């Protein structure tokens, strides 16, 4: 394994991998089988597992404290040697097998007190048996560790993601990759039904009522569902046309008892295992945390750019986006128009009918604006009863048509039961203008309307 692929193992100790009782059982079984003592040291030579069996000839040697010290010193010398079998100071054979985790020594298996009258071939066979057992066990654990590291990396990447659409794509990709399935669908619960926000092989959203299909039932039962063989009797909703589902695993996505959605993965080559269930459960939990995080982030982000009364964008957001659009136009060319709108005699309405009625007028006027624009247009509350609209890819004629359409709606739509008019000033972009100067021109055009004929439309210049 190259260094680039090695996980971080600096602090791994033998007791992080083996349970102490497991190690005790290993040394005890070994001693019973072969009649030799065995114990385990950590990487620094400290005893982790004491001898559970000591032959009589070893008891005689270790009855004196000085011999115990000699034995320990001799063992520590053997730890730095590469030979499995070596003659010890007491004229017995000693087996010292390093326990390695990704080539790092994390401990040692020691078998000592092997008399010289034991056939040397048998001694080396025992040493090789111990070495092979430890190496094979550690290899299995290394593979598990790599998989664990991969899973942790995937889950951490989900939890740290702040872009909603990217998060949904990552969740689906992670499920398919980790479970080795064919495809995955992520449903988001909108408060009433499940909506397939991301579904591999599906190019449009599908909705499922709670209780409909496996995913809908999973949302109600709130527990993982595994079906290893789909039959004609299986209650499954066919989402992707011409796609045969052979098996599936489905899990609810829940954050603090609140249903956020359901994740469903299909067609694993083999059956889903207990390990797959645990893995999918971890993924569902990480998905819940990640979705809650990104939804909270989106809510905070929305608060920072949305006017709370009208639910239009605020002034700062509008100006920043206008600056970006002008930078684009200066580089690539194009057209742009700005509308500056002021509700006529709004202060008088406020003073006469109160601020509650004034707020309703502002909200209803904001809705009129929203319903008069294209998806690419940006409308914002500039302050008080003033509003601005950015019309990308729009010449003078198009800007006037939009303003006239809005004026007609205002004339024909009472706001909070009152007839209201609006004065509109328009300025169009040409190369060299800044966002500030373009807004100022539209603003000045609007004030010309206020001074000459309220409720009409005037262009700058």
Mean pLDDT of 437-459: 93
Separation of first and last alpha carbons in the chain: 73
- What CATH number does residue 180 fall under? 3.30.450.40
Question: CA 40, 81, 122 angle in degrees (round to 5)?
Answer: 70
More confident residue, 278 or 242: 278
pLDDT given at position 239 = 57
Q: Please check whether residue 309 lies inside any domain of the structure.
A: no
- What CATH number does residue 87 fall under? 3.30.450
Task: Identify which of 267, 256, 242 has the alpha carbon closest to the alpha carbon of residue 293.
Answer: 256
Rounded CA Rg of the chain:
37
Mean pLDDT of 111-138: 85
pLDDT given at position 382 = 95
Strand order in the sheet with 258-266: 207-209, 193-199, 183-189, 258-266, 248-255, 225-227
Q: Please check whether residue 179 lies inside any domain of the structure.
A: yes
Task: Identify which of 420, 418, 348, 357 has the alpha carbon closest to the alpha carbon of residue 387.
Answer: 420
Task: Identify which of 14, 28, 17 has the alpha carbon closest to the alpha carbon of residue 108.
Answer: 14
Domain that residue 127 falls in: 3-152
Q: Please check whether residue 157 lies inside any domain of the structure.
A: no
Q: Please check whether residue 46 lies inside any domain of the structure.
A: yes
Q: Please check whether residue 424 lies inside any domain of the structure.
A: yes
pLDDT surpasses 50 at 207: yes
> Which pLDDT tens digit goes with each residue over 291-332?
888 888 877 777 888 998 999 999 999 999 999 999 999 888
pLDDT given at position 3 = 43
Tally of structural domains, the chain? 3
Strand order in the sheet with 422-428: 378-383, 386-392, 336-343, 422-428, 457-459
pLDDT given at position 253 = 94
pLDDT given at position 4 = 41
Ranges of H-type helices in 62-119: 65-79
Mean pLDDT of 180-194: 90
Task: Look at the block and give the residue holding tokens 């002034």.
Answer: 315
Rounded CA separation 135/99 (Å): 7
Q: Please check whether residue 446 lies inside any domain of the structure.
A: yes
**Whether residue 285 is found in the same domain as residue 324:** no
pTM comes to 0.55
Give the range among 81-90, 109-118, 338-347 with minimum mean pLDDT: 81-90
**Whether residue 455 is found in the same domain as residue 320:** yes
pLDDT given at position 203 = 61
pLDDT given at position 276 = 85
CB 79 within 8 A of CB 108: yes
**Whether residue 289 is found in the same domain as residue 333:** no
Q: Please check whether residue 307 lies inside any domain of the structure.
A: no
DSSP state of 273: P
More confident residue, 49 or 198: 49
**Whether residue 224 is found in the same domain as residue 106:** no
pLDDT surpasses 60 at 352: yes
- Domain-terminating residue out of 235, 267, 301: 301
Give the range among 184-188, 214-218, 231-235, 426-430 with minimum mean pLDDT: 231-235
**Whether residue 377 is found in the same domain as residue 249:** no
Mean pLDDT of 269-274: 87
- Domain-terminating residue out of 152, 178, 209: 152
pLDDT given at position 236 = 66
pLDDT surpasses 90 at 137: no
Q: Which residues pair with 422 in a beta bridge?
A: 343
> Which pLDDT tens digit goes with each residue over 58-91?
787 778 888 778 787 777 777 766 667 777 777 7
CB 246 within 8 A of CB 230: yes
Rounded CA separation 405/399 (Å): 10
pLDDT given at position 235 = 66
Rounded CA separation 410/248 (Å): 55
Mean pLDDT of 277-302: 85
- What CATH number does residue 330 fall under? 3.30.70.270
> Which pLDDT tens digit goes with each residue over 30-44?
888 888 888 998 888
* pLDDT band at 2; cut points 50, 70, 90: very low
Q: Please check whether residue 343 lies inside any domain of the structure.
A: yes
**Whether residue 267 is found in the same domain as residue 354:** no
> Which pLDDT tens digit goes with each residue over 394-417?
999 999 999 999 999 998 999 999
Q: How far is CA 31 from CA 27, 39, 111, 398, in A?
A: 6, 10, 9, 93
**Whether residue 167 is found in the same domain as residue 291:** yes
* pLDDT band at 1; cut points 50, 70, 90: very low
pLDDT surpasses 50 at 289: yes
- The helix (run of H) or strand (run of E) holding residue 39 is strand 37-42
CB 217 within 8 A of CB 202: no
**Whether residue 130 is found in the same domain as residue 170:** no
Mean pLDDT of all residues in the chain? Answer: 86
Mean pLDDT of 106-127: 86
DSSP state of 5: G
**Whether residue 81 is found in the same domain as residue 173:** no
Strand order in the sheet with 93-101: 47-49, 37-42, 104-114, 93-101, 85-87
CB 86 within 8 A of CB 46: no
**Whether residue 7 is found in the same domain as residue 146:** yes
CB 195 within 8 A of CB 185: no
Mean pLDDT of 137-161: 79
Task: Identify which of 293, 418, 284 has the alpha carbon closest to the alpha carbon of residue 352.
Answer: 418
> Which pLDDT tens digit goes with each residue over 381-391?
999 999 999 99
Phi, psi for 243 (deg, rounded to 5): -125, 115
Mean pLDDT of 179-190: 89
Rounded CA separation 321/189 (Å): 32
**Whether residue 148 is found in the same domain as residue 7:** yes
pLDDT surpasses 90 at 432: no
pLDDT surpasses 60 at 195: yes
Rounded CA separation 150/283 (Å): 12
Rounded CA separation 347/361 (Å): 12
For residue 177, how far is the Cα from the chain centroid? 14
SS3 label, residue 446: helix
- Domain-terminating residue out of 152, 184, 216: 152
**Whether residue 417 is found in the same domain as residue 439:** yes
Rounded CA separation 9/323 (Å): 50
Task: Identify which of 115, 122, 110 has the alpha carbon closest to the alpha carbon of residue 90.
Answer: 115
């Amino acid at each position: 394994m190259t260094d680039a692929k090695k996980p971080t193992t600096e602090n791994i100790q033998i007791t992080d991998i083996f349970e102490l009782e497991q190690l005790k059982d290993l040394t005890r079984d070994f001693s019973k089988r072969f009649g030799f003592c065995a114990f385990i040291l950590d990487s620094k030579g400290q005893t982790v597992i004491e001898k559970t069996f000591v032959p009589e000839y070893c008891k005689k040697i270790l009855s004196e404290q000085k011999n115990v010290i000699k034995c320990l010193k001799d063992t520590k010398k053997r730890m730095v040697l590469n030979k499995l079998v070596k003659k010890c100071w007491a004229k017995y054979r000693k087996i010292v097998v390093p326990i390695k985790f990704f080539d790092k020594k994390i401990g040692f298996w020691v078998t000592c007190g092997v008399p010289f009258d034991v056939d040397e071939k048998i001694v080396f066979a025992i040493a090789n048996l111990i070495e092979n057992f430890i190496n094979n066990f550690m290899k299995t654990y290394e593979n598990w560790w790599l998989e664990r590291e991969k899973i942790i990396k995937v889950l951490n990447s989900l939890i740290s993601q702040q872009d909603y659409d990217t998060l949904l794509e990552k969740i689906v990709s992670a499920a398919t990759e980790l479970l080795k399935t064919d495809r995955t669908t992520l449903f988001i619960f909108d408060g009433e039904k499940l909506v397939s926000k991301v579904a591999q092989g599906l190019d449009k959203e599908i909705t499922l009522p709670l209780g409909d299909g496996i995913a809908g039932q999973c949302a109600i039962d709130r527990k993982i569902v595994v079906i290893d063989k789909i039959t004609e009797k299986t209650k499954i909703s066919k989402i992707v046309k011409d796609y045969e589902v052979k098996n599936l695993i489905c899990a609810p996505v829940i954050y603090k008892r609140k249903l956020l959605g359901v994740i469903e993965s299909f067609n694993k080559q083999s059956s889903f295992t207990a390990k797959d269930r645990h893995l999918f459960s971890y993924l569902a939990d990480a998905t819940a945390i990640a979705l809650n995080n990104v939804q909270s982030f989106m809510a905070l982000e929305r608060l920072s750019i949305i006017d709370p009364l009208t639910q239009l964008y605020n002034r700062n957001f509008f100006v920043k986006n206008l600056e970006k659009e002008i930078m684009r136009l200066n580089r690539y060319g194009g057209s742009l128009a700005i509308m500056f709108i002021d509700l006529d005699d709004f202060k008088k309405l406020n003073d006469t009918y109160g601020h509650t009625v004034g707020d309703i007028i502002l909200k209803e006027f904001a809705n009129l604006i929203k319903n008069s624009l294209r998806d690419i247009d940006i409308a914002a509350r500039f302050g008080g009863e003033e509003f601005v609209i950015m019309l990308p890819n729009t010449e003078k004629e198009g800007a006037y048509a939009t303003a006239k359409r809005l004026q007609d709606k205002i004339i024909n739509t009472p706001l909070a039961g009152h007839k209201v008019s609006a004065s509109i000033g328009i300025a169009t972009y040409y190369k060299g203008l800044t966002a500030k100067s373009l807004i100022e021109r539209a603003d000045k055009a609007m004030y010309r309307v206020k001074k000459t004929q309220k409720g009409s439309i005037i262009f700058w210049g």
